[in-house]
Structure 1
Amino acid sequence: MSTDNRVQTAARPLLGVALMALGVGILPVMDGLAKHLSAEYHVVQVTWARYLFHFVLLAALLLWRLPLRELIPRRLGLQIVRSAFLLSTTLCYFGAIAFLPLANALALAFIGPLVSTALAPWLLGEHAGARRWLAVVVGFSGTLVVIRPGWAAFEWASLLG
């Protein structure tokens, strides 16, 4: 892509906002479809279909816009590891969606950034300030309100989320 095309693309903020809104709007639809389909199909099949249709659409778009040599990753091993992690998280999330109410599974998914922030000082050597810690506490409290924790209502599928 030339520099001129990048400048033209960057100069269209409303298109960026519209595409972001469309993307964020599609995610709950995907979650709802995964919940609906998991009643009849195995979670692995639902995940397979999600990635197959995504691959076909994305491959068509990328092959139309870019030469094939630009689609080959420079660090293939790391890309495969990253893909394996993404596949495993999708399988776990779709499994949680299949067995839990959708709101609970989504609330559990929102814990991820909170856990990342909480573990960053020890695992990454990054320091989270007081505002970030406050956000973690408030976010985690909100998650607890949604999923109403307690051993009486505990479901094994919560571990998938």
Structure 2
Amino acid sequence: MPEKTLPKQGTAARARAPARADHPFKGIALILLSTVFLGTSDVTSKYLSATLPSVEITWIRFVVFVLIMVPAMLPGTPLYALKTERLDLQLLRGAALLGSSLLFISGLRYLPMAVASATSFVSPLFVTALSIIFLSERVGLRRWLATAFGLIGVLIVLRPGTSAFNVAAFFPIVSALCWALTLVMTRMMSGREHAITTMTYSALSGLAILTALVPFVWVTPSWHDILFGIIIGLASTAGQWIVVLAFRYANASVLAPFSYTQLVWVSFLGFLVFGEVPDIWTVIGAACIVASGLYTAHRERVRRSQVLLTAAEPAPNA
């Protein structure tokens, strides 16, 4: 996609952004580190769901998120990032991110860690479909076949029509759809909005919505609950920020295989904390989902390489 002309705010933001460097091993190391933080956030959310409603857990998470982003809200400071040319898209992205977080935490209340995490990794499949609608991208037959294979993996994990099926499994699936919307809207703002601006508006819009909802389900938390809520907020925010750092050093096609190690990490934590052991069908279904995601990332790399090659070709003589 050709780079668009930047408005003043985007130009200043880009000037502050660190230059892109090609250090794939550093990017891989950061992605592996991010899975530790994100997995810890997921497991802690499941643990806390035994005593607090999902809305309240998510609210605490976003309170911490907003507090971390406060420096970006102070006018006159180097990090100030509230100027935006796409307020509507920023707010919609924040609502989608909130939906992803809230629905996933709701699913964790009823599902084993491995099942919730495996089904949530179908987001690349949703991105494929949404890219046609919102980004006018062309999707070839092979990517559609990969998407179908991933959906088969979801069916293997969920096993609808059997006693193993849990209707709560739809929570992480819809969460993945919301996350895919978040990624697509991020692409739509790419080159126009700084990452700090996007994170700040995501934090503010999510907290505003949750603050309106949380009084209806409020349960007075203990200091123990507040402590674990803070851990969720810190771990999730740190994990997301480390992912942003990783993409400064390597392309998505390089990092995608290693992001799936989060499935191993959360499965291990699920066993350690909750005594959950994934059954063979969950493992097989997760393998199908991962394989589909990896092939989708591969096709994305091939497509981008073809676009760059075409752009580099000299124009024919007049």
With normalisation by structure 1, the TM-score equals 0.76
Give the 3 Å change call, closer, same or farther, for CA 18–70 of structure 1 in structure 2: same
Identity %, equivalent residues: 36
Deviation at 1:160, TM superposition (A): 1.7
- Give the corresponding residue for 1:19: 30
Q: 1:6 aligns to what SS in structure 2?
A: coil
- Give the corresponding residue for 2:88: 77
Give the 3 Å change call, closer, same or farther, for CA 160–26 of structure 1 in structure 2: same
The structure with more helix, counted as a fraction of residues: 1
- Quick check: 1:49 aligned with 2:87? no
- Quick check: 1:145 aligned with 2:156? yes
- Quick check: 1:159 aligned with 2:170? yes
Q: 2:109 aligns to what SS in structure 1?
A: helix
Q: 1:2, 1:130 → 2: CA distance?
A: 36
- Quick check: 1:6 aligned with 2:31? no
Aligned counterpart for 1:67 among listed residues 68, 71, 78: 78
Give the 3 Å change call, closer, same or farther, for CA 11–118 of structure 1 in structure 2: closer
Aligned alpha-carbon RMSD (Å): 3.1
Deviation at 1:72, TM superposition (A): 3.1
Q: 2:127, 2:24 → 1: CA distance?
A: 30
Q: 1:88, 1:108 → 2: CA distance?
A: 16
Counterpart of 2:64, as a letter, is F
Deviation at 1:37, TM superposition (A): 0.6
Deviation at 1:2, TM superposition (A): 8.6
Alpha-carbon displacement from aligned partner over 1:83-106 (angstroms, at most 9, x marks no partner): 112112211111011111222222
- Quick check: 1:131 aligned with 2:159? no
Give the 3 Å change call, closer, same or farther, for CA 19–57 of structure 1 in structure 2: farther
Give the 3 Å change call, closer, same or farther, for CA 151–33 of structure 1 in structure 2: same
Deviation at 1:143, TM superposition (A): 2.3
Given that 1:38 and 1:46 are in contact with CA atoms closer than 8 Å, whether structure 2 keeps it comes out as yes
- Give the corresponding residue for 1:36: 47
Q: 2:31, 2:73 → 1: CA distance?
A: 19
Given that 1:120 and 1:126 are in contact with CA atoms closer than 8 Å, whether structure 2 keeps it comes out as yes
- Give the corresponding residue for 1:90: 101
Given that 1:103 and 1:146 are in contact with CA atoms closer than 8 Å, whether structure 2 keeps it comes out as no
Structure with bigger RCO (C-alpha 8 Å, 6+ apart): 2
Q: 2:139 aligns to what SS in structure 1?
A: coil
Q: 1:108, 1:153 → 2: CA distance?
A: 15
Deviation at 1:36, TM superposition (A): 0.6
Q: 2:45, 2:59 → 1: CA distance?
A: 11
**Matched residue count:** 157
Q: 2:84 aligns to what SS in structure 1?
A: coil
Given that 2:72 and 2:81 are in contact with CA atoms closer than 8 Å, whether structure 1 keeps it comes out as no
With normalisation by structure 2, the TM-score equals 0.42
Alpha-carbon displacement from aligned partner over 1:25-67 (angstroms, at most 9, x marks no partner): 211111111111101111111111222223333445897xx62
Given that 1:107 and 1:147 are in contact with CA atoms closer than 8 Å, whether structure 2 keeps it comes out as no
Deviation at 1:120, TM superposition (A): 4.7
Given that 2:110 and 2:168 are in contact with CA atoms closer than 8 Å, whether structure 1 keeps it comes out as yes
Given that 1:96 and 1:157 are in contact with CA atoms closer than 8 Å, whether structure 2 keeps it comes out as yes
Q: 1:60, 1:160 → 2: CA distance?
A: 33
Deviation at 1:18, TM superposition (A): 2.9
